[in-house]
Homo-oligomer: A and B are copies of this chain.
């Protein structure tokens, strides 16, 4: 993974509301959840949530699909795994030599 992608993903997750959204979607699994449901669960205005969903989408951390008049969002587990791999690889390299548990 490129550094730019990693920064974009980290920035997307580095915000309380968005991290909460992402966790909801992880919990929901591949079935995902509707935008409105998420807005209500998190107690924020639809426009606010839409903004954050777009941020997460741009970072490729989630994906939305239209389902009738709802838009269902689901976590992109492959992307999240790539990010974790990047962080383990690039931010923990000294580990084996120095007792880091990665």
Contacts and interface: CB of A to CB of B under 8 A. Distances in A.
Nearest to A97: B29
A38 to B, nearest CB: 16
Nearest to A20: B3
A95 interface: yes
Copies in the complex: 2
B93 A81 contact: no
**What interface size band does chain A fall in?**
35 or more
A73 interface: no
Interface string A69-91: 00000010100110110011011
Interface of A: 3-4, 6-7, 10-11, 13-16, 19-20, 22-23, 26-30, 75, 77, 80-81, 83-84, 87-88, 90-95, 97-102
